[in-house]
Amino acid sequence: MNEATTPDMLKEQSSAVRFYGIWLVAAIALIVLPLVFSSGGSLTSFSLIGIAIIFALSYNILLGQTGLLSFGHAVHYGLGGFLAVHAMNAVAAHDLPIPLPFIPLFGGIGGLAFAILVGWVMTKRAGTVFAMISLGIGELVASSSLILRSVFGGESGITTDRTALPHMFGWSFGPQLQVYYLIAFWTMVSAIAMYALTRTPLGRICNAVRDNPERVEFIGYDPHVVRYFAYGFAGFFAGIAGGLTAINFEIANSAYLGATQSGLVLFSAFIGGIAYFFGPVLGAILVTYLQLGLTNLTTVWQLYFGLIFIGIVMFAPGGIAGLLMIHRPLIRAGSLAMVIPSYLVAALPTLALALGVILSIETVARYAASQGEGNIINLLGIPFDATRPLTWAVAAVLVFGGFLVARITWRRVAEAWDRAATVARDRGYLA
Amino acid sequence: MSAAIEIKSVEKHFGNVGIIRDLNLSVAQGERHAIIGPNGAGKSTTFNLISGHIKPSAGEIRLNGDIISGLRPFEINRRGLSRSFQVTNVFAKMSVWENIRCAVLWATGHRYAFWKNVDHLPEVRQRTAQILDDIHLSHRRDVPAGLLTYAEQRELEIGITIAGGANVIMLDEPTAGMSHAETERAVALIRRLTEGRTLVIVEHDMSVVFGLADRISVLVYGHIIASGTPEEIRGNPKVREAYLGEEAH
């Protein structure tokens, strides 16, 4: 056996340990989280984040893995939700022996069934054609849902009672904690399944189709079939996410399958970073958290989403995951310490710039919206009155001053980065 | 035994413009066949017609006796014909290893499998490693294909083409843009890797053509004006006039 233990095998073993380690840490984190943060609000947040993770990962099967830009992915999410609600009501009405934890599967089947139905025509072409058809199908289904009242329940949607289903392990799934664990379980299972999918022959060929569909035809594969498979899987997992949402809120309505929802998942995946499997996970966490947090703080939260999105597209097209991963060669080469000081120096004026932008937006928004009440903006505990000129002046100083200083420090970051990258290149960690 | 490739009276028009006119060509099993001709003669179009990239307007193309004209590229590939591209056409964001492995998957019967771990397929792993070794890129296996040097990308292109084990290999200007030393290396590689298979090659470098080919066909304005051994082609007055003559000036 001595001969067999080559450095290659050792490398493989250690990467396997690291690989299973990551999943184990994730599972433990999901179990422990509600014990640490046990308030009702955080339980609700965690539940929504879990669902958002599944949904964003399913979207990335299309965008990141196969190169399909969909504007109507929420259709599968929403239809999954509706099928799950109908399944729950049917189980409760006929006393069927199906406990609640199996309901998300019905959601998945709903998403998959619709993907099988429309997918073959949709995936004939990639690129703009696919994007436009997905937009059209999304609008079609969303508007049909308001017309077909018996199936979709019109504007009010269809409600259900998750506690009316047979209990499992003595759990009624009434308390949010039990629902959280149900969602956490499905998040874990779905994430592992979607990761495993990327490691199969089909998953690899999806990447090949993304990179170069023309060439794929000359190594024996029909890119149309590959895209169709990817579309089916994406629909299935989106349906599971929709099913979980239906369980969480005990309702399914037409908002689930509309353009807003489709936009949000594109947004999550892109902000997180579509080039890495874990990117959409980060994006889903951040976007859900911001969505829940910002709606309480400001009326113009969509504006901030837009700014973040534009910022990512322009300055970090690889998303958060891309930003993190460019540091990997520096860490390996041990030259990360060369860039950290420049980051810290740049952080201060950049923060001032960000605060200035926030103050400007809030000042304008509140001044325009309501004369009189609600004019006090609390920023870092300091109250600013939107009607006072001083506030406008402070905002302007922060924006312009912050920008001018930040620009100098960003140049320093770039220089430090060049030096660190040169070291990494010399040591062979960067191509 | 039927010819590896048999082209009969093939025509290709784009609108009213005839690019390929009454094309007839036969490539025997195991033969190394070069197609030469001036720029714009239709060499790449001929490749695209045979490999299914474009469909002929008229006529028929047979592979090992079976009609393949009108089939899609992947159907033709599955029947044992594989081609390379003049402009490097690899999977740029994927590693060298992944590029070759993707080209091995269909041929090893894994098709669209989504229930197998691609890293745990011994025959895929062996074959991929073997081909990487053959094209001398083992030391670059984890580099994204888009970051390879030009010559390395050309070698990868050949690797992807032969990886599926097709018995008819078509190479479109494999040495284009290479230095003299790189060309020699590439020719040795092609000679070794296509041993026992049928090879159709389009090439501008006459030393490569006359050194490698058993038979040569000369394509001028979409029509084959001569087909024969290197000696016959060298001595053919029509060829000298239409093609080689121009080169001599």
Q: What is the CATH number of the domain that holds B149?
A: 3.40.50.300
* Amino acid occupying residue B65: G
Residue A176: closest CA among A27, A23, A50, A25: A50
Number of domains in chain A: 2
Using CB atoms, pick whichever of B51, B106, B115 lies closest to residue A200.
Answer: B115
Q: Which residue has the tokens 């001044």?
A: A367
Residue A134 has pLDDT above 50, yes or no: yes
Using CB atoms, pick whichever of A199, A211, A217 lies closest to residue B74.
Answer: A217
Residue B32 has pLDDT above 60, yes or no: yes
Q: How confident is the model at residue A34 (pLDDT cuts 50, 70, 90)?
A: very high
DSSP state of B9: E
For residues B113 and A256, the answer to whether their CB atoms sit within 8 Å is no
- Closest residue, chain B, to A224 (C-alpha): B74
Residues A141 and A206 in one domain: yes
Q: What is the pLDDT of residue B248?
A: 44
Residues A277 and A160 in one domain: yes
3-state secondary structure B53-106: CCCCCEEEEEECCEECCCCCHHHHHHCCEEECCCCCCCCCCCEHHHHHHHHHHC
Residue A4 has pLDDT above 60, yes or no: no
A196–B117 CB contact, under 8 Å = yes
Which of A254, A285, A316 finishes a domain? A316
Q: What is the mean pLDDT of residues A3-14?
A: 58
Whether A1 and chain B come into contact, CB under 8 Å, resolves to: no
The H-or-E segment that residue A377 falls in is: strand A376-379
Which of A269, A287, A316 finishes a domain? A316
Helix (H, G, I), strand (E, B) or coil at B32: strand
Q: What is the pLDDT of residue A373?
A: 59
B147–A226 CB contact, under 8 Å = no
Q: Which two tokens stand for residue B134?
A: 């053959």
Q: Which two tokens stand for residue B172?
A: 């479109």
Write out pLDDT tens, residues A149-182: 888 988 889 999 999 998 888 888 999 999 999 9
Does residue A16 sit within a domain?
no
Domain that residue A345 falls in: 328-426
Q: What is the pLDDT of residue A41?
A: 86
Average pLDDT, chain A: 91
Of residues A297 and A185, more confidently modeled: A185
Residue A215: closest CA among B90, B97, B159, B52: B90
User: Rounded to an integer, what distance in angstroms lies between the CA atom of residue B143 and that of residue B95?
Assistant: 5
- Closest residue, chain B, to A213 (C-alpha): B91
- Among chain B, residues having any CB pair with chain A shorter than 8 Å are 51-52, 72-74, 77-78, 82-83, 85, 89-94, 98, 101-103, 105-107, 110-119, 121, 143-144, 147, 160-161, 163-164
Q: Which two tokens stand for residue B90?
A: 């690899």
Does residue A215 sit within a domain?
yes
Q: What is the pLDDT of residue A48?
A: 97
Which are the contacts of A51, defined by CB distance < 8 A and separation ≥ 6?
A183, A187, A241, A244, A245, A248
Number of domains in chain B: 1
**How near does any CA of chain A get to the CA of B231, in Å?**
34
Q: What is the pLDDT of residue A365?
A: 83
Q: What is the pLDDT of residue B135?
A: 95
User: Rounded to an integer, what distance in angstroms lies between the CA atom of residue A270 and that of residue A283?
Assistant: 7
A211–B147 CB contact, under 8 Å = no
Residue A282: closest CA among A57, A116, A130, A126: A57
Does residue A193 sit within a domain?
yes
Q: How far is CA A227 from the centre of its chain?
A: 21
For residues A279 and A117, the answer to whether their CB atoms sit within 8 Å is no
Q: What global pTM score does this model have?
A: 0.93
Report how many Cβ contacts below 8 Å link chain A to chain B. Answer: 101
**Hey, which bits of A33-104 come out as E strands?**
none
Does residue A199 sit within a domain?
yes
For residues A141 and A258, the answer to whether their CB atoms sit within 8 Å is no
In chain A, which residues have their Cβ closer than 8 Å to the Cβ of B101? 204
DSSP state of B31: -
Q: What is the mean pLDDT of residues A327-352?
A: 91
- Closest residue, chain B, to A194 (C-alpha): B114
Which are the contacts of A111, defined by CB distance < 8 A and separation ≥ 6?
A76, A77, A79, A80, A235, A236, A237, A238, A239, A240, A242
**How near does any CA of chain A get to the CA of B52, in Å?**
9
- The order of strands in the sheet holding B168-172 is B81-83, B168-172, B198-202, B32-36, B215-220, B223-228
Task: State the best of A20, A215, A219 to mutate against chain B, taking most chain B CBs within 10 Å.
Answer: A219
Of residues B246 and B41, more confidently modeled: B41
Q: What percent of chain A has pLDDT over 70?
A: 95
Write out pLDDT tens, residues A37-67: 888 889 999 999 999 999 999 999 999 999 9
Q: Which two tokens stand for residue A112?
A: 């998959």
- Closest residue, chain A, to B144 (C-alpha): A431
Q: What percent of chain A has pLDDT over 90?
A: 71
In chain A, which residues have their Cβ closer than 8 Å to the Cβ of B52? 217
Task: State the best of B114, B125, B162, B168 to mutate against chain A, taking most chain A CBs within 10 Å.
Answer: B114
B77–A207 CB contact, under 8 Å = no
**Hey, which bits of A186-294 come out as E strands?**
251-252
Does residue A287 sit within a domain?
yes
Q: Which two tokens stand for residue B147?
A: 């970051």
B90 φ/ψ angles, rounded to the nearest 5 degrees:
-115, 180
Of residues A399 and A372, more confidently modeled: A399
Q: What is the pLDDT of residue A3?
A: 43
In chain A, which residues have their Cβ closer than 8 Å to the Cβ of B112? 201-202, 205, 221, 225-226, 229
Angle made by CA atoms A401, A406, A411, in degrees to the nearest 5: 145
Buried residues in A11-33 as b, exposed as e (16+ CB within 10 A): eeeeeeeeeeeeeeebbeebeeb
Domain that residue B69 falls in: 5-248
In chain B, which residues have their Cβ closer than 8 Å to the Cβ of A204? 98, 101-102, 105, 118
Does residue A3 sit within a domain?
no
Beta pairing partners, B28: none
User: Rounded to an integer, what distance in angstroms lies between the CA atom of residue B228 and that of residue B101?
Assistant: 37
Q: What is the number of other CB atoms lying within 10 angstroms of the CB of residue A179? A: 22
B91–A225 CB contact, under 8 Å = no
Handedness of CA B238, B241, B244, B245 (dihedral sign): positive
Handedness of CA B113, B115, B120, B121 (dihedral sign): negative
B105–A205 CB contact, under 8 Å = yes
Q: What is the pLDDT of residue B243?
A: 66
Q: How confident is the model at residue B249 (pLDDT cuts 50, 70, 90)?
A: very low
Residues A304 and A368 in one domain: no
Residues A375 and A245 in one domain: no
Of residues A80 and A393, more confidently modeled: A80
Q: What is the mean pLDDT of residues B57-82?
A: 96
Residue B240 has pLDDT above 50, yes or no: yes
User: Rounded to an integer, what distance in angstroms lies between the CA atom of residue A84 and that of residue A79?
Assistant: 8
Q: Which two tokens stand for residue A157?
A: 């949607």
Whether A3 and chain B come into contact, CB under 8 Å, resolves to: no
Q: Which two tokens stand for residue B20?
A: 């390929």
Does residue A13 sit within a domain?
no
3-state secondary structure B111-174: CCCCCCCHHHCHHHHHHHHHHHHHCCCHHHCCCEHHHCCHHHHHHHHHHHHHHCCCCEEEEECC
**Alpha carbon distances (Å) from A137 to A73, A152, A212, B220:** 10, 17, 26, 50
Q: Which two tokens stand for residue A424?
A: 């990494």
B118–A222 CB contact, under 8 Å = no
- Closest residue, chain A, to B51 (C-alpha): A218
Helix (H, G, I), strand (E, B) or coil at B11: strand
Write out pLDDT tens, residues A343-388: 999 999 999 999 999 988 888 888 777 655 567 777 777 777 777 8
Residues A418 and A307 in one domain: no
Residues A44 and A143 in one domain: yes
Q: What is the mean pLDDT of residues A418-422?
A: 91
Residue B41: closest CA among B19, B68, B72: B19
Whether A221 and chain B come into contact, CB under 8 Å, resolves to: yes
Q: What is the mean pLDDT of residues A416-421?
A: 92
Residues A369 and A247 in one domain: no
In chain A, which residues have their Cβ closer than 8 Å to the Cβ of B111? 201
Residues A70 and A134 in one domain: yes
**Alpha carbon distances (Å) from A6 to A17, B97, B98, B139, B175:** 17, 19, 22, 16, 37
Residue A216: closest CA among B80, B132, B82: B82
In chain B, which residues have their Cβ closer than 8 Å to the Cβ of A221? 74, 106, 112
Which of A262, A290, A316 finishes a domain? A316
Q: Which CATH number fits the domain that encloses residue A26?
A: 1.10.3470
Write out pLDDT tens, residues B139-155: 999 999 999 999 999 99
Kind of pairing between the strands at B17-27 and B5-14: antiparallel
User: Phi/psi class of residue B9: alpha, beta or left (left: φ > 0; alpha: ψ in -120 to 50)?
Assistant: left
Residues A35 and A62 in one domain: yes
**Alpha carbon distances (Å) from B26 to A282, B9, B38, B215:** 58, 11, 20, 10
B85–A221 CB contact, under 8 Å = no
- Closest residue, chain A, to B159 (C-alpha): A219
